[in-house]
A and B are shown apart, each in its own frame.
Chain A
């Protein structure tokens, strides 16, 4: 019987079985940022411990950095204190930091792949739930809490319970104007926001294998929104080509051996899975969330649910969502007016996202009264976009062009919703209060759909603006 990628990477990184019966798993790459690491470093100091392999940990700053002006010291003294903490910690413990004085700064899940740090067959941990993003490369990547950040810093290991694997096959080709974001929203709608608890998701099928690495990252990124801590795609030529030549990629001399090593992790033809499901990718359209969790979505030409027609277990949650959003059950989602449009985040802040959104923005104007912002996922994404003139396309259309950071995805920085504002957002969470105002509302969708909503002032089918 063959093995799947999770089993192979797990075995390769197993240090031992712990007395608890859990696995002591070695972490090949540890990524840290300013929010979930300071307490972990403090514990190292209290316990008199060092960082075991500083060369396997990389730091950047993303959650709290302002995207308007990144001048130091920050106006927000709490944020400034966190910046000083990560700078001091990295210096003291010998960890490489892509800080605000470094061209490589950006959102941690954009930076890792961009630098060639994220590689197939690896185990990757970071104190951030969207670490599943890195699974796009055939890595086992997952979010951890601060105590576990401490564990990885001092031992390069974690105590892990076993994971099951669910293979999710997405068949067919996606229609024009339908993106990775639409696929993952459909998967979460289908399997539920807790359907993946205890599972790693293996994404496969024609729709996935024909995707670029950036699209695969958008899919894997939101695995956690379906409850799956890990999501991955088997590595292939697309993966290797993306990595080749990046700063931390293996050298040309070692390249063939590295590819052979990576290939050995791909799930075997006869691998077994704990569960398998299939979804017809060719039948999907653009999706938009209407509720307060990422599983509550509908196709842009569809209607909000009628509560009495939902399965009993979903009714309370749907009623709560409709009340919070102030939406009528059964109403169409298209035509919902928006106040804010946000393009960015670790889900959809990469160059291909900006290129697609710019197609819609080109020669059009943001609707009066809509605040629209584009926030590149990293400085390198920003530089690339500027070299292609995308920033001008956006600014001429009335979008604000910002500096790299997490921005309005999670509102730990000055970018926040106000009051009851409703935001069309390319980010990953539509939880109550997620975008900074306790009563603010979020509709998740692809960056192209956000750009179209910014221009129309309401939710519209972006395919009408994409042309042929």
Chain B
């Protein structure tokens, strides 16, 4: 599984400002009427983009096309468990996310898809958002091994839970294979908890 090791992500940044941006905003529910994730990339933030009150949404701005590191604020990805949210971001081109904090289910969905989400303090995130707004060509780098973010000349120590860091570095983030390794132990637990049986 060594080829699935993830040590980080790098590229130009794209800011999406605001706290508590929920997964309904990342991918509106009508786009969940599908049996595959294909084609979701073009609908990322669709309604926010159409109804953006403060100029042009960054996903539509020329200077951020081709960017791959999303920079967000607090509690990003709250709400629904839809994996369509990280899928739409990935298919738009996002390979890593920097934020103040992430909602738990969204974070887990990103891990399952190999997208590292690193956390920084609010003031550091603001600084990086300002930096890439001022210089959209500025390179950002997420370093999973050292738990840090490099932006321009600066390096910021970043947060990433131990288990997730190890899963990325050891190529164990695709959990299905890992879980199936413990076949006999799974059967033991199944045998010790109550079965589910319909009464006749």
A16 B185 Cβ-Cβ under 8 A: yes
In the complex, chain B residues whose CB is within 8 Å of the CB of A150: 176
Contact count band on B = 35 or more
Of B51, B103, B180, B190, which is within 8 A of A227 by CB? Answer: B103
Residues A433 and B186 in contact in the complex (CB < 8 Å), given A20-B167, A20-B172, A22-B163? no
User: What separation, in Å, do the CA atoms of A353 and B11 have in the docked complex?
Assistant: 51
Stretch at the interface among A248-256, A370-378, A394-402, A448-456: A248-256
Whether B108 contacts A144 by the Cβ 8 Å rule is yes
How many chain A residues have a CB neighbour from B under 8 Å? Answer: 86
A278 to chain B, nearest CB (A): 25
**Given A129-B81, A249-B199, A317 and B24 contact (CB-CB distance below 8 Å):** no
Query: Is A156 touching B186 in the complex (CB atoms < 8 A)?
Result: yes
- Residue A441, interface by CB 8 Å: no
Query: Within A41-63, which residues are at the interface with B (CB < 8 Å)?
Result: 42-43, 47, 49, 52-53, 55-56, 63
- Residues of the B chain whose Cβ atoms lie less than 8 Å from the Cβ of A100: none
Given A85-B35, A129-B79, A227-B75, CB of A13 within 8 Å of CB of B189: yes
A177 sits at the interface (CB 8 A): no
- For residue A434, which residues in chain B have a CB less than 8 angstroms away from its CB? 24, 29
Question: Within the assembled complex, what's the spacing in Å between the Cα atoms of A49 and B79?
Answer: 30
With A85-B35, A229-B104 known as contacts, the answer to whether A147 contacts B194 (CB < 8 A) is: no
Q: Which of A143, A148, A158 has the most CB of B within 10 A?
A: A148
Is B170 in the interface zone, CB < 8 Å from A? yes
B83 within 8 Å of A by Cβ? yes
With A19-B166, A194-B20, A251-B199 already in contact, the answer to whether A433 and B28 are too (CB < 8 A) is: yes
Chain B residues near A193 (CB, 8 Å)? 20, 75, 78
- How far, in whole Å, are A49 and B183 apart by their CA atoms in the complex? 13
A12 to B191, CA, bound (A): 11
A161 to B108, CA, bound (A): 10
Q: 1/0 contact trace for A130-146 toward B, CB 8 Å?
A: 01000000000001111
The number of residue pairs between A and B whose CB atoms lie closer than 8 Å in the complex comes to: 218
Also in contact, A293 and B196, with CB within 8 A (given A36-B83, A157-B186, A193-B75): no
Determine if A429 and B24 form an interchain contact, defined as CB atoms under 8 angstroms apart.
Answer: yes
Which residues of A lie under 8 Å from residue B81 when comparing CB positions? 36, 127-129, 131, 143-145
A73 in the interface (beta carbon within 8 A): no
Interface residues of A in 5-42 (CB under 8 A from B): 12-16, 18-22, 24, 26, 28-29, 35-36, 38-39, 42
27 contacts between A and B (CB under 8 A): A19-B178, A21-B163, A26-B190, A36-B83, A39-B37, A49-B176, A52-B186, A122-B193, A127-B83, A129-B80, A143-B105, A144-B81, A145-B81, A148-B175, A156-B190, A157-B186, A197-B104, A198-B104, A229-B105, A248-B196, A258-B194, A317-B20, A320-B18, A410-B24, A429-B79, A431-B24, A434-B24
Which A residues fall within an 8 A CB radius of B?
12-16, 18-22, 24, 26, 28-29, 35-36, 38-39, 42-43, 47, 49, 52-53, 55-56, 63-64, 76, 78-79, 81-82, 85, 117, 119, 122, 127-129, 131, 143-148, 150-151, 154-159, 161, 193-194, 197-198, 224, 227, 229, 247-251, 258, 261, 293, 316-317, 320, 323, 410-412, 429, 431-434, 436, 438-439
